[in-house]
């Protein structure tokens, strides 16, 4: 069975698509569904090492939110910028030198097949795939748009559209994006306002305006959340008064893997320093990774007096990967793996670094020992992390006085390291993801998603006595009439929502009917209960566990009764009498057969007439009757 899919589009970059996707994944995980993240193409220098290679940090975090192992299929294309006009292409976790040499337009034909294969694999293996878009879906100069519209089309996805209130102009951004989506508007289930601060009543008039202009509901507004979580471009630290002294991360132009320092936003008075003055007074300096150390060296050289003075006072510094490479004697890149040439380093480490085409990408788990001075408090700790670098020539760990240099990313994410350096642990990712999902469930109306996707609290029918989170439906009868393939069953599913019992009257007497039954079964929500009953509708109604019952269909039911020499009119009256006693809402589906050619065979004419009488009885008892024509519901 192919999974359903939900796309999370944004009005632009940085509006919160990544974290909204993570929160939705955790929400759906809570419902008992097996869910997976997907982003066709991500441009980021923040990556994690997983089984199969490397993937963007945002999708790694989203996999944690979903509670499933992260894997490169979830981010089949990762573009790691190398300056203004080039990128390293990581294809399904592995660097592709051939594609990296091509321009965007030249590489595009080579990517679509890989993306679609990865997506189809996830749709086979999971119940639901939540797909994060890239930038905006309405960059019309880039259409056909692969990471937004193409993948949504392939997955037959529904979509949400999110805007950042904090940036300003969110109402115009949502409406303008909707207007430019053209035929793709039909995918939209709702709008989400994100990162709101202030009086919500001032924003709420925008709900009515958007819904009136577009017909698309606003699902709600998320406030500015104070969660420090890894994001696509590192993490957006929001300064706060608490913390264990000042820690400065030197934010050079090509800094990478900044996401690994998310715990410091909670544990320290954190500064991302772009000038030496901003870093002054820090008790700990951190030199993070760099995508292009050779180009970041001139920028970092301006910090050399500060770094020397900091170390001379015995204050600790941590240099990770590219940060350590820049502190070496020299960086040698004869083959132009990153930037061809020889580049003198800052000379604080007694090594030379040589760039090699072979990239080290590996998870590591090791016991720290042999460290001295400030860093001796880490001895005896078993830590986990990852390596991801082209450079060679440095030890995995090396200490020069208060300076600790390492290839290992993720050191600060280890709770033991946090306790040793800061006296306490940061809030774990699990706790933060739970808070994120709590915020979504508190501030957004997610029921339209449940109904449209056929998803609910659990991926299995609710246990007897378990109540639906939706309000109970009004008891009574709804009748849906229409011709073959007019959309009756789909309309019944939309009216019923995620919690319903289906009374299926079809019997698989030949291959064609068996295939039809299997197709309808695959299209039904996984949360529905199915009772296969070709004759006794009244008895099945008593067995139904949900307050909403769909009968699909009366057409086959009448034929089944006639074959068994039972009276369809008497059985119809018996069933109609049982409906008010049951207290349930019944949605009955039937074919309208009175408007076609008069059948030539007497038996066929008798069947048509009896079904017409049955339809009339149901219509007389129903509160609502609809005629389905070409997928549109006409209320009678």
d(CA 636, CA 627): 7
Strands 284-287 and 317-320: parallel
Number of Cβ atoms within 10 Å of the Cβ of 374:
19
The answer, yes or no, to whether the previous bond of 605 is cis (omega within 30 of 0) is no
Q: Residue 455 in contact with residue 527, Cβ under 8 Å?
A: yes
Number of Cβ atoms within 10 Å of the Cβ of 594:
13
Q: Which of 27, 184, 321, 546 is catalytic?
A: 321
**CA gyration radius for the chain?**
30
d(CA 309, CA 200): 49
Q: Residue 455 in contact with residue 447, Cβ under 8 Å?
A: no
Q: Residue 20 in contact with residue 8, Cβ under 8 Å?
A: yes
d(CA 176, CA 593): 45
d(CA 498, CA 529): 10
Number of Cβ atoms within 10 Å of the Cβ of 226:
10
Beta-carbon contacts of 92 under 8 Å, excluding residues fewer than 6 positions away, are: 52, 53, 72, 73, 76, 114, 118
Q: What is the DSSP string of 299-351?
A: HHHTTHHHHHHHHHTT--EEEETHHHHHTSSEEEETT-SSS-EEEE----SS-
Beta-carbon contacts of 471 under 8 Å, excluding residues fewer than 6 positions away, are: none
Of residues 454, 449, 494, 507, the one with CA closest to residue 589? 494
HSE at residue 348, side-chain half, CA atoms within 13 A, is 30
Of residues 607, 539, 543, the one with CA closest to residue 574? 539
Structure tokens at 341: 């040439």
**Token pair 């199969």: residue:** 52
Number of Cβ atoms within 10 Å of the Cβ of 533:
18
d(CA 146, CA 152): 9
* Max Cα–Cα distance, the chain, nearest Å: 104
Q: Residue 214 in contact with residue 206, Cβ under 8 Å?
A: no
Helix/strand/coil percentages in the chain, nearest 5: 40, 25, 35
Structure tokens at 489: 């069953």
d(CA 108, CA 82): 18
Q: Residue 311 in contact with residue 346, Cβ under 8 Å?
A: no
d(CA 123, CA 62): 16
**Annotated catalytic, 409?**
yes
Beta-carbon contacts of 404 under 8 Å, excluding residues fewer than 6 positions away, are: 316, 317, 318, 319, 371, 375, 397, 398
Q: Which of 390, 409, 443, 546 is catalytic?
A: 409
> Nearest 5 degrees, angle CA 67-CA 72-CA 76?
125
Q: Which residues are catalytic?
A: 321, 409
């Amino acid at each position: 069975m192919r999974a359903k899919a939900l796309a999370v589009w944004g009005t632009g970059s940085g509006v919160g698509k990544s974290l909204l996707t993570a929160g939705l994944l955790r929400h759906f995980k809570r419902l008992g569904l097996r869910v997976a993240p997907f982003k066709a193409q991500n441009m980021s220098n923040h990556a994690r090492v997983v089984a199969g290679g490397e993937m963007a940090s945002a999708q790694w975090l989203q996999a944690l939110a979903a509670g499933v192992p992260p894997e490169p299929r979830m981010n089949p294309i990762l573009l790691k910028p190398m300056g203004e006009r080039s990128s390293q292409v990581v294809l399904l976790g592995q660097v592709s030198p051939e594609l990296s040499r091509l321009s965007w337009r030249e590489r595009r034909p080579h990517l679509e097949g890989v993306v679609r294969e990865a997506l189809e694999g996830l749709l086979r293996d999971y119940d639901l795939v939540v797909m994060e878009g890239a930038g905006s879906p309405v960059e019309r100069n880039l259409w056909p748009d692969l990471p937004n519209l193409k993948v949504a089309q392939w997955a037959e996805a529904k979509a949400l559209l999110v805007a950042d209130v904090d940036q300003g102009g969110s109402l115009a951004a949502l409406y303008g994006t909707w207007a430019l989506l053209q035929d793709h508007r039909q995918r939209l289930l709702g709008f989400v306002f994100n990162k709101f601060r202030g009086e919500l009543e001032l924003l709420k008039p925008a709900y009515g305006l958007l819904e009136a202009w577009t017909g698309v509901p606003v699902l709600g507004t998320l406030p500015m959340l104070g969660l420090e979580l890894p994001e696509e471009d590192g993490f957006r630290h929001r300064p706060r008064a608490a913390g264990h002294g000042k820690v400065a991360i030197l934010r050079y132009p090509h800094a990478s893997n900044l996401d690994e320092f998310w715990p410091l936003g909670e544990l320290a008075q954190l500064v991302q320093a772009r000038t030496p003055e901003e870093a002054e007074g820090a008790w700990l300096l951190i030199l993070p990774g760099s995508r292009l150390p050779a180009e970041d060296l001139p920028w970092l050289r301006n910090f050399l007096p500060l770094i020397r003075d900091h170390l001379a006072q015995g204050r600790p510094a941590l240099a990770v990967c590219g940060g350590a490479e820049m502190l070496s004697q020299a960086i040698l890149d004869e083959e132009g793996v990153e930037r061809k040439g020889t580049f003198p380093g800052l000379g604080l480490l007694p090594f030379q670094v040589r760039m090699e085409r072979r990239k080290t990408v590996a998870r590591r788990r090791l016991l720290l020992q042999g460290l001295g001075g400030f860093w001796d408090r880490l001895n005896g700790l078993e830590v986990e992390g990852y390596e991801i670098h082209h450079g060679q020539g440095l030890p995995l760990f090396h200490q020069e006085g208060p300076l600790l240099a390492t290839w290992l990313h993720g050191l600060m994410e280890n709770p033991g390291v946090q306790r040793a350096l800061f006296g306490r642990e940061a809030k774990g990712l699990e706790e933060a993801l739970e808070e994120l999902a709590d915020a979504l469930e508190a501030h957004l109306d997610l029921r339209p998603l449940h109904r449209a996707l056929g998803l609910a609290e659990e991926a299995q029918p609710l246990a007897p006595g378990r109540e639906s989170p939706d309000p109970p439906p009004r008891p009574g009868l709804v009748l849906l009439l229409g011709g073959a393939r007019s959309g009756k069953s789909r309309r019944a599913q939309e009216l019923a929502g995620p919690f319903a019992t289906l009374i299926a009257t079809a019997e698989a007497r030949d291959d064609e009917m068996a295939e039809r039954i299997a197709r309808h079964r695959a299209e039904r929500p996984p949360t529905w209960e199915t009772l296969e009953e070709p004759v006794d509708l009244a008895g099945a109604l008593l067995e139904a566990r949900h307050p909403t019952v769909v009968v699909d269909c009366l057409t086959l039911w009448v034929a089944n009764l006639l074959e068994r020499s039972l009276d369809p009119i008497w059985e119809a009256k018996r069933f109609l009498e049982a409906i008010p006693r049951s207290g349930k809402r019944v949605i009955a589906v039937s074919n309208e057969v009175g408007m076609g050619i008069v059948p030539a065979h007497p038996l066929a004419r008798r069947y048509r007439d009896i079904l017409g009488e049955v339809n009339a009885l149901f219509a007389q008892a129903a509160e609502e009757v609809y005629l389905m024509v070409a997928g549109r519901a006409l209320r009678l």
